[in-house]
Amino acid sequence: MLVGRIITYPQKNNSAFCQPHAVSDDELEAIKQKKMAELQKAAEARAALSSITAPVHLTDSNFSTEVARYPVLLVDFWAAWCGPCRMVAPSIDQLAKEYSGKVVFGKLNVDENPRVAGSFGIQSIPTMMIFKNGKAVDVIIGALPKGAIEAKLKQHLSSGSIYG
């Protein structure tokens, strides 16, 4: 005995679905212009990223703007009196050069900018946060070696395009 199942789908009202239609030359030109503008904007963003080879200075007043501006941003929360922060600084500077065009690095002094540090609950430094498309996606706490910071960063770069 053969047992099976027959699935019937309800009839679809054709008016509820997109009907193919001819595209006028004006519509086609508008689509082309829109796509060209998108491609140009993406190219300009990549060019701007590649020119940033040192950490950007972040403050309470520019933090939100800068996080939104860059597809991938690693923020180093630090203080001048912090010995481990000074140990990590050369690694951050090197990574900023090596990852120019892919990642922007930023530095935020927690003593001078307590609002941002407090909003993220930063209680120990150095703390590094990785932001992708404006959202915090990872945290690194402590004075880790350059290779460990880079490995954590690579996890977020391997997940596809940083521009979308």
β 127-132/135-141 pair status: antiparallel
Distance CA 117, CA 127 (A): 10
Is 18 a known active-site residue?
no
The SS3 of residue 75 is strand
Q: Is 82 a catalytic residue?
A: yes
Question: Given the DSSP bridges, would you call strands 72-78 and 127-132 parallel, antiparallel or unpaired?
Answer: antiparallel
Report which of 148, 141, 150 is spatially closest to residue 96, judged by C-alpha positions: 150
Which of 52, 67, 82, 128 is the catalytic position?
82
User: Which of these is catalytic: 67, 73, 74, 85?
Assistant: 85
Place of tokens 């500077």: 93
Asked whether 76 and 55 are in contact (CB, 8 A), the reply is: yes
Cα–Cα distance measured from residue 25 to residue 51, given in angstroms and rounded to the nearest whole number: 39
Residues belonging to the active site: 82, 85
